Structure 1
Amino acid sequence: MFEQLKDLIRSMYPGENTIPLHRPSFSQEEASAVAACINSTFVSSVGPEIGEFEKLIAKFCDSGYAIATVNGTAALHLSLHVLGVHSGDIVLTQSLSFAATGHAILQTGAKPVYIDIALPEGSMCPEALLHFLEEECKQQENICIHKASKRRIAACVPMHSFGEPAKIAAIAEICRNWSIPLVEDAAEALGSFTEGKHCGTFGTFGILSFNGNKIMTTGAGGMILCKNETLAKRLKHVSTTAKIPDPFEFRHSEAGFNYRLPNLNASLGIAQYKKLPAFLNKKKTIHREYRVFFQRFCYKLVNNPEAQSNHWLNTVIMNSAEEKEELLQFLKVHDIQARPAWYPLHRQQHLQSVTDLPLPQTDWLYSRAVSLPSSVPFEAPCYD
């Protein structure tokens, strides 16, 4: 099967010596947009492209508002900060995630508690979440309290793994019933929909990433999706060092962050956004190629069959940890980049949980998952 997979990947990316896991797709449109921004001299955190980019993403996601940030980690930290997450609190999340999810929690002074994932989508399991809350927590004056540690459950941060939508509607309902603010880590899920809504719009906030390896990029960048105007204004205020508008004086209303996306990056994002429909269509084709191939050999992909995924990374589930390692080494020898899932956060010393919950599905998927090349292999046409 390995040889046939190598041939399939080579056929999808003809003429390339080393095939990357995921890379950006640029053309003259991006170069012209960035050059125009440079010529305007508005290259830092003030400029018209930032506002335009925010409006485009807010409209695409139907989120009401979108606040651009320097990266997805900053977007997540800012979201938790504005929600009032602080030292001594607990934030529920999943261990199968990029370390930035855990690091943003630590930045607030809170501690993580990891909820196991569900398959085949590889994201937080609603049943596991509800079981933890019913067994180990209580509600006290509309606050959820972890009984053993007496800490407040200040937020829940599920992640849409590999761009595949989580069972987020069920998670959102549980969070509402238990008075827990929901922040979706949709860093990889731009263009993914479930229950008729874009990922990142089910909770109080949702965050996106525009890192260089995402489905569209601003080089580095992130976005917070928000439907509440008051909260959106506060997010923007705090992300701009909490500076009070004044033509002369530098006065600040509170401790703020320098988290705004530079205008230069936003200009790149606008050009990339025009190609997003083409990117998503090609992603469908790539996913279909992999799905048909692996069905022949009785392997499954991480996938939510009930949702509309952007198929950011196609991730196959191998039969064993040994077979996973064999595939990674085989593809490496043939100059094809692949990677395992993120090393689980609960196994990393600085990201230890307040309580040790069993995470059998997380450990099982990590031991078998291999993400395969999923870049858009052509220069997508730019259109309005």
Structure 2
Amino acid sequence: MQSIKEIYGNKEFIPLHEPTFDEKEIEYVTDCIRTGWVSSVGKYVDEFEKRLAEYTGVKRAVAVVNGTAALHIALKVAGVQANDEVFMPALTFIATANAVSYLQAVPHFVDVSEQTLGMDPVKLEEHIREIGEMKNGHLINRLTGRVIRAVVPMHTFGHPAALDELIDVCNRYNLVLVEDAAESLGSFYKGKHTGGFGAVSALSFNGNKIMTTGGGGAILTNDEKLADYAKHITTTAKIPHSWEYCHDEVAFNYRMPNINAALGCAQLEKMDKFILSKRNLTQRYQNLFETIEGVTVFTEPSFGTSNYWLQTIVLDTEKHNRDAVLEILNSEGVMTRPIWIPMNKLMPYKDFPVGNLSVTNELNDKIINIPSTPIRKDR
């Protein structure tokens, strides 16, 4: 505990993660305010979308109000319909399941890998063979009779999931890949940015993410038609016109405000510095915990480069009790938290389809996130 406090300059309270701002954010946001264009119209949204697409290496980015909205629309434009089932890891933030539910589709929970903390492609295919069959080009859940439409891997804490293997599964069973890349801006799988592998993907820029727009998210895709449709239905499906308000379908008011995009433009300019400082912090933690028996710092898989959004330790439960460690650290002002409760154990999702979750259940008792705000190298 004291060593963690020393890393952060012996502050009385150390949050789990907080944003880093300087004069650049003030400059862009002030400019936005002075123009008067702070809401749905202004230059910064277009600029942010352009810079984000360039940074992630995709053709298009569509900025929206938050990561959940981004995933909701990503799933919709990818073709997920009411009563479809969607594979996702049981070990994820509830937004992954909620976004599927917004479409009146059905989350279907599968296991994760100890190596990535993301969806395990081997366990996924084993589960498909147990419950699935192909009919008329669609994968059908024999137990429910529903079409299984999509696979949604989540890049946990910024660590890339095993995308090649997941893509192979999708290709074999005619499933669409939609990446939940909410936590992985700045993470790369085999040299290519996460979020660029699926038909469409979602990012989050919440205040606790590696960079922030205050509240915000984005849809990424290499499909121009999907991008155009996503842009259309996130801006109330309004047909462009100089003065008329004509809308051609029921849609969503999910557009990112210009003032948030101004903040995002400034933050995006610093991504390389943020990631370098995150990697520096990871090394500091590895040095710290190598002397503590039964505690391991979770690190990126061999095939990927992680943004290390949230620093993660894995406990040997024979030597350490997770809740006891959490109690000690939080009581002393070091903010820490456990990994999420598995989705199938939450009240809204307890009766939904589920596979063998042996690894999920084991990891749930082992993982703790520790303070992860980027630090200066001189500390």
TM-score normalized by the length of structure 2: 0.95
Q: 1:242-285 deviations in whole A, cap 9, x for unaligned?
A: 11111122111111101111110000000111111110000000
Q: What pairs up with 1:1-384 in 2 under 5 angstroms?
A: 6-298=1-293, 299-306=295-302, 307-320=304-317, 323-352=321-350, 354-378=352-376
Q: CA RMSD in A?
A: 1.6
- Equivalent position amino acid for 2:85 in 1: I
Q: 1:326-364 deviations in whole A, cap 9, x for unaligned?
A: 211111121110000011111012123533422111111
Once the 2 structures are TM-superposed, how far is the Cα of residue 49 of structure 1 from its aligned partner? 0.5
Once the 2 structures are TM-superposed, how far is the Cα of residue 8 of structure 1 from its aligned partner? 2.3
Q: Is the 8 A contact 2:159 2:301 kept in 1?
A: no
Q: Is the 8 A contact 1:112 1:353 kept in 2?
A: no
Q: 1:88-111 deviations in whole A, cap 9, x for unaligned?
A: 110110111111111111111011
Aligned length: 375
Q: 1:142-190 deviations in whole A, cap 9, x for unaligned?
A: 2211111110112111111111111112111211221111111111101
- Equivalent position amino acid for 1:214 in 2: K
Whole-Å separation in 1 of the counterparts to 2:206 and 2:161: 21
- Equivalent position amino acid for 1:304 in 2: E
Whole-Å separation in 2 of the counterparts to 1:295 and 1:354: 40
- Structure 1 unaligned segments of length 5 or more: list them: 1-5
Whole-Å separation in 1 of the counterparts to 2:192 and 2:253: 31
Q: Is the 8 A contact 2:127 2:356 kept in 1?
A: no
Range that drifts further, 354-363 or 289-298:
289-298
Q: Is the 8 A contact 1:113 1:353 kept in 2?
A: no
Identity of aligned residues (%): 38
Give the secondary structure class of the aligned counterpart of 1:96.
Answer: coil
- Equivalent position amino acid for 1:373 in 2: P
Once the 2 structures are TM-superposed, how far is the Cα of residue 83 of structure 1 from its aligned partner? 2.2
- Structure 2 unaligned segments of length 5 or more: list them: none
Range that drifts further, 23-32 or 290-299:
290-299
Whole-Å separation in 1 of the counterparts to 2:126 and 2:135: 18
Q: 1:282-326 deviations in whole A, cap 9, x for unaligned?
A: 000001111233233353233333110101111111112862112
Whole-Å separation in 1 of the counterparts to 2:172 and 2:50: 32
- Equivalent position amino acid for 1:331 in 2: L
Whole-Å separation in 1 of the counterparts to 2:77 and 2:236: 13
Q: Is the 8 A contact 1:68 1:224 kept in 2?
A: yes
Q: Is the 8 A contact 1:318 1:368 kept in 2?
A: yes
Q: Is the 8 A contact 2:344 2:352 kept in 1?
A: no
Whole-Å separation in 2 of the counterparts to 1:252 and 1:161: 38
Whole-Å separation in 2 of the counterparts to 1:303 and 1:175: 27
Whole-Å separation in 1 of the counterparts to 2:244 and 2:308: 48
Q: 1:16-43 deviations in whole A, cap 9, x for unaligned?
A: 2100000001112111211110111111
Q: Which runs of 4+ in 1 moved over 4 A?
A: none
Once the 2 structures are TM-superposed, how far is the Cα of residue 15 of structure 1 from its aligned partner? 4.5
Q: Is the 8 A contact 1:162 1:313 kept in 2?
A: yes
Q: Is the 8 A contact 1:111 1:353 kept in 2?
A: no
Closer, same or farther: CA 350–360 of 1 in aligned 2, 3 Å: same
Q: Is the 8 A contact 2:71 2:96 kept in 1?
A: yes
Range that drifts further, 215-224 or 161-170:
161-170
Task: Find the counterpart in structure 2 of residue 3 from structure 1.
Answer: none
Q: Is the 8 A contact 1:114 1:353 kept in 2?
A: no
Whole-Å separation in 1 of the counterparts to 2:188 and 2:181: 11
Give the secondary structure class of the aligned counterpart of 2:176.
Answer: coil
Q: Is the 8 A contact 2:62 2:231 kept in 1?
A: yes
TM-score normalized by the length of structure 1: 0.94
- Equivalent position amino acid for 2:97 in 1: G
Q: Is the 8 A contact 2:280 2:377 kept in 1?
A: no
Q: Is the 8 A contact 1:26 1:379 kept in 2?
A: no
Q: Is the 8 A contact 1:346 1:353 kept in 2?
A: yes
Closer, same or farther: CA 251–204 of 1 in aligned 2, 3 Å: same
